Amino acid sequence: MADSQESLNPKNLRRRTHSTTRSNKIETVGVNEIVKDPTVNLDSSDEDRTNLVSNQESLLNADSSSLVSNGEEENESGGGRIGGAGVVSGGVGGVGGGGDGERSSNFAEKYMYRASAPAHSRVKESPLSSDAIFKQSHAGLFNLCIVVLVAVNSRLIIENLMKYGLLIGSGFWFSSTSLRDWPLFMCCLSLPLFAVAAYMVEELAQNKLVSEPVVISLHVIITTASILYPVCMTLKFDSAVMSGVTLMLFASVVWLKLVSYAHTNYDMRALSKSSDKGDVSSNTSDADNSYNVNIKSLAYFIVAPTLCYQTTYPRTTCIRKGWVTRQCVKLAIFTAFMGFIVEQYINPIVQNSQHPLKGDLLYAIERVLKLSVPTLYVWLCMFYCFFHLWFNILAEVLRFGDREFYKDWWNAKTVEEYWRMWNMPVHKWMVRHVYFPCLRNGIPKGVAVVIAFFVSAIFHELCIAVPCHIFMFWAFIGILFQIPLVLLTNYLQNKYQNTMVGNMVFWFFFSILGQPMCLLLYYHDVMNQRVRTL
């Protein structure tokens, strides 16, 4: 009863009559007039006209089915909207004056979908044009590339298995008898004894039983012996190549750790002496001055996934056993996949090739390009297994907190960026114990970089040439060749200011050309040496 009385109220009747009259006026106005002047018979503000133009694109891109549904709902509720594009009774502003924002929104919805409404309102580029291609998301194309890559490689694997069968065997990579490699295994187990010797030297230095020059001389002897001992063992015994590579990698890690241990303690002793004299600057932390030789800190450092010694490390609170189990399963799967590629693809290609420097040039290029894809897969698997899975497993078990073992080196614009990002433990060691000490002694930056590459080249040659029992210095030359590549990619980056150019040059020289060429060179030199010894 109250509702009927309110509806018969003269004020409400006049409001309805006025609203209906305004709505009828809108219907009689031509569409072109409305598009040209949105304020016809509506008394709309400048803001209404601005909102009309700015909302054209969003409304044109809206779901048409949703609009029809909305129109039907409003028509059923008495709104008078037909198909989402009709006239809403009661005026644009709504009954009772719903405000400028509501009036503008209703007006845009009513008249934007007319046939004469503009479909093109501003200048826009195609998504794949040169000006807009890098502003778009290419996630779908990336997924397509992954699908195509998996499909193509699956076909090639099936075709290879059907044609040649399963070729996995021990052969070149592993020893046929386990007794053949036991001297190298015993050598590997004895390497931590050099760390014990270094600790004893530091104990003598801490108790001031020996002078500083004697401490330095003893550390030089210990570190030199730690690398010469495995080299002599590898050259003396006819072991498998992979066993020798494993031993030399472990020996190199021990040498780097011992150098860091000796250098860090030397610096901490110097800071401690300066602190006693009151010469230490205020910005030197207390941790830097806490020189205290501890066997526990050394033992943790020897097994931790880092090459830089310090008395304490950031630690996590717990060990995630389930996570460790999953990573171990991944490690086993990717290691098996890596071995499959080596035995099924790389070995047959290499065995059926000629020496790249002695045969036909086009034939050598064909062999290198054919090797480039499987060697790239093996190298990527090696990186993932070693730097991601193994380092993170070791860090989780030891609760080692700093797990930045690598950065996004695959986006490197220059070769210099790649060497700074792909192996962070070695990079931090080089910066801490080679590069900055050179700068502090007045050596120019360019010369310091050359010295760092020279040290890296020596250890690359040791880890490859010694297990192969041949010294042709291919790895040494390959690492030193990175220096002109650094200059070249830096020049291209500065000239073109394009991240793609330097990144492509890096991928081509490092993965497509460099690694397959070194593999062919070392393989044929090893095979030629074995033929001569028979």
* Least confident window among 44-58, 103-117, 198-212: 44-58
Stronger pLDDT, 196 or 162, i.e. the higher one: 196
Question: How confident is the model at residue 64, as a pLDDT?
Answer: 43
Dihedral sign computed on CA atoms, order 448, 424, 463, 373: negative
Mean pLDDT of the 35-45 span: 42
Pick the most confident of 77-86, 167-176, 490-499: 490-499
3-class DSSP assignment, residue 413: coil
pLDDT band at 178 (very low <50, low <70, confident <90, very high): low
Question: How confident is the model at residue 405, as a pLDDT?
Answer: 93
CB 533 within 8 A of CB 469: no
pLDDT band at 68 (very low <50, low <70, confident <90, very high): very low
138 in catalytic set: no
pLDDT band at 525 (very low <50, low <70, confident <90, very high): confident
Question: How confident is the model at residue 534, as a pLDDT?
Answer: 55
CB 214 within 8 A of CB 154: no
- The pLDDT tens digits of the residues spanning 321-360 come to 999 999 999 999 999 888 888 888 888 888 777 776 676 7
183: pLDDT strictly greater than 90: no
Residues 219, 263, 427, 460: which is the catalytic one? Answer: 460
Mean pLDDT of the 58-81 span: 43
**What does the alpha-carbon distance between residue 175 and residue 239 come to, in Å, rounded to a whole number?**
7
- The pLDDT tens digits of the residues spanning 409-424 come to 888 888 888 889 989 9
Stronger pLDDT, 438 or 20, i.e. the higher one: 438
Question: How confident is the model at residue 148, as a pLDDT?
Answer: 93
Residue 385 host element (H or E): none
**What does the alpha-carbon distance between residue 315 and residue 204 come to, in Å, rounded to a whole number?**
30
3-class DSSP assignment, residue 400: strand
- The pLDDT tens digits of the residues spanning 105-155 come to 665 666 556 777 777 888 888 888 877 777 777 788 888 999 998 898 888
DSSP structure class, residue 510? I
CB 63 within 8 A of CB 52: no
Q: Which residues pair with 315 in a beta bridge?
A: 400
3-class DSSP assignment, residue 160: helix
Residue among 372, 377, 369, 386 at smallest CA distance from 340 = 377
Residue type, 309: Y
Question: How confident is the model at residue 333, as a pLDDT?
Answer: 93
Question: How confident is the model at residue 66, as a pLDDT?
Answer: 43
Residue among 103, 105, 80 at smallest CA distance from 20 = 80
CA–CA distances in Å: residue 209 to residues 195, 223, 261, 274: 19, 21, 19, 20
pLDDT band at 6 (very low <50, low <70, confident <90, very high): very low
Question: How confident is the model at residue 100, as a pLDDT?
Answer: 56
% of the chain residues with pLDDT over 70 = 72
Stronger pLDDT, 229 or 478, i.e. the higher one: 229
- The pLDDT tens digits of the residues spanning 356-409 come to 667 677 888 888 888 888 888 999 999 999 999 999 999 999 999 899 999 988
**What does the alpha-carbon distance between residue 268 and residue 85 come to, in Å, rounded to a whole number?**
80
Task: Calculate the average pLDDT of the chain.
Answer: 77
- The pLDDT tens digits of the residues spanning 250-302 come to 999 999 999 999 999 999 888 888 776 665 554 444 444 467 788 999 999 99
**What does the alpha-carbon distance between residue 378 and residue 338 come to, in Å, rounded to a whole number?**
5
Question: How confident is the model at residue 428, as a pLDDT?
Answer: 94
30: pLDDT strictly greater than 90: no
% of the chain residues with pLDDT over 90 = 31
Give 144-150 contacts, CB < 8 A, sequence gap 24+.
none
Question: How confident is the model at residue 364, as a pLDDT?
Answer: 80
**What does the alpha-carbon distance between residue 268 and residue 423 come to, in Å, rounded to a whole number?**
26
Question: Dihedrals φ, ψ of 400, to 5°?
Answer: -80, 125
